[in-house]
Amino acid sequence: MSEASELPQKEEEEVTPEAEEQSDNSSEDEATGDTEMDFLRNLFSRFLGLGSGEKVLDELTLDGVAQYMKSGKCKNILCMVGAGISTSAGIPDFRSPETGLYANLQKYNLPYPEAIFQMDYFKEHPEPFFALAKELYPGQFKPTICHYFMKLLKDKGLLRRCYTQNIDTLERVAGLEADDLIEAHGTFYTSHCFSFSCRKEYNLDWMKEKIFSDDIPKCEKCQSVVKPDIVFFGENLPDRFFTLMKTDFPQCDLLIIMGTSLQVQPFASLVSRVSKSCPRLLINMEKAGQSGIMDFGGGMDFDSDKAYRDVAYISTCDDGCLALADLLGWKAELEELVKKEHARIDSEDQEEKNTGSKAAAAAAEAKAEE
């Protein structure tokens, strides 16, 4: 992962000019008596990446964020989202060992639970992965209020991009398009032949049909296994992630982080790539992303007396989005959108079931006639 190793180096470069500026300030303070303390304070704030940004929010609350969004100065919003935005859709967190998902995998006789997402294991034994894929198949879930909040941001021309760690495709179901999305851990939306010399692409309908007929999906050209484009352990993140983050983050006016504990790299370090003046709102069940003292900086700071741009709203993602929508005067619009879209998905499901049972009935009839 050569491009990922670029991350820390880049941050180090960014720190240097400020470091010089800050040492100038501290030499001016020498007469104050607290010189050593000030020097240490400056040293720490330099390493924590604090103190050099402009204060954009009037207050570090959800209301402060809403006022800023209404000011007309906030035109490029980036969302960073994780498993927490899909839990209310009923989707368990794939990778977290605490969800009990791994415990359910015993029936597949895996050597160890993570093997199900490992390339080497998959190559020899693709069956457990596809059995799990059937159980957790994306199309069986509906996007959440939070997904539709991002769709509203798009409709209002405010969403620059959504960086998601989720592979459930609910952002697409909610109406975000390929260009609006960075699916950092890949997606079920497309699949590719596992053979490096072939790599033929398959679409979602093709893969769905294979998964639900309990077939191991095999390439029509070369008979190798076909794998959904989700990023397995040890695999590179999509090129698009590394290309677009370089232009998206420096131009971001507001970073909204939802439903992620910011523990998986390189995704987590994205929060430090926005400008020092860019406000960052975290909507999550707990605070996340704060810097450790040994970090290079750029971590979240909600509570220190130097905090000036980070807001934590501790709640479910759906409740947080509803509260923000309310402050923006969008609540009725958001609720209407969710209601309308969920009804549409339900009626499509029903249609599919009807067609499915008609086809089954026709097949049964044909068989009876034989």
Q: What is the DSSP string of 219-277?
A: -TTT-PBEEEEE--BTPPPPHHHHHHHHHHTTT-SEEEEES--S-STTTGGGGGGS-TT
CB of 74 to Zn ion, least distance (A): 46
Which helix (H) or strand (E) segment is 284 a member of? strand 280-284
CB of 226 to Zn ion, least distance (A): 7
What amino acid occupies position 156? K
11 labelled binding-site residue = no
Distance CA 31, CA 26 (A): 10
285 labelled binding-site residue = yes
Question: Is 342 marked active-site?
Answer: no
CB of 120 to Zn ion, least distance (A): 19
Distance CA 191, CA 207 (A): 7
Indicate the residue among 32 and 197 with the shorter CB distance to Zn ion.
197
Where do we find the tokens 């390189």? Answer: 266
165 labelled binding-site residue = yes
Where do we find the tokens 């509260």? Answer: 323
219 labelled binding-site residue = yes
Indicate the residue among 45 and 224 with the shorter CB distance to Zn ion.
224
93 labelled binding-site residue = yes
Helices (DSSP H) in the chain: which residue ranges?
6-28, 35-47, 62-70, 119-124, 127-135, 145-155, 170-173, 204-212, 239-248, 317-328, 331-369
CB of 196 to Zn ion, least distance (A): 10
Indicate the residue among 75 and 199 with the shorter CB distance to Zn ion.
199
Interface with Zn ion (CB under 5 A): 193, 195, 198, 200, 219, 221-222, 224
Indicate the residue among 219 and 328 with the shorter CB distance to Zn ion.
219
CB of 195 to Zn ion, least distance (A): 5
Residue 156: closest CA among 326, 328, 341: 328
Tell me how crowded residue 318 is: count the other CB atoms within 10 A of its CB: 23
8 A C-beta contact, residue 95 and residue 82: no
284 labelled binding-site residue = yes
8 A C-beta contact, residue 314 and residue 286: yes
125, 147, 185, 342: which is the annotated catalytic residue?
185
83 labelled binding-site residue = yes
Distance CA 262, CA 88 (A): 19
Tell me how crowded residue 330 is: count the other CB atoms within 10 A of its CB: 20
Indicate the residue among 196 and 239 with the shorter CB distance to Zn ion.
196
Active-site residue set = 185
Binding-site entries for Zn(2+): 193, 198, 219, 222
Binding-site entries: 83-87, 93-95, 165-168, 193, 198, 219, 222, 260-261, 284-286, 317
